[in-house]
Amino acid sequence: MDKKRLFFNKDKEKLPCTTVTFPWFIIGFLIMSFLNTLGLFTEETRFYLQTIAYLLIFMAMGALGLQVRIETLIKNGKSAFFACLFDSFVLSVGGFFIVFWTY
């Protein structure tokens, strides 16, 4: 397979998706949650596993960011910006009141 094709999709035609890919990370998440519940990890091990998990999340977010089409972002930028702004406001206010009322 061509190296450029791994990073940049130059094909204009899209193939129809006929299968659903199972998110295998969920199995790993459930296994690690179960093992942590049993208390099999020391505090130091949990710290390292958490650091690795953060690194993997950052890599996944970067991969999602690389798939953003700039022309679509420019075309729909205002509506996406205001939708994100509204969502952030609702989450912030809602989170504040949940913390305020529960403590």
pLDDT tens for 18-36 read: 677 788 888 988 999 999 9
**Which domain, by its residues, includes 100?**
69-103
Q: Is the pTM of this model over 0.75?
A: no
Same domain membership, residue 84 and residue 55:
no
The count of other CB atoms within 10 Å of the CB of residue 60 is 11
* 58 and 90 part of one domain: no
Residues 35 and 54 in one domain: yes
Question: Mean pLDDT across the chain, nearest whole number?
Answer: 81
Which residues touch 46 (CB under 8 Å, ≥6 apart)? 36
Distances (CA, A) of 95 to 73, 82, 84, 85: 28, 20, 16, 15
Please report whether residue 13 resides in a domain: no
My answer on whether 29 and 62 are in the same domain is yes
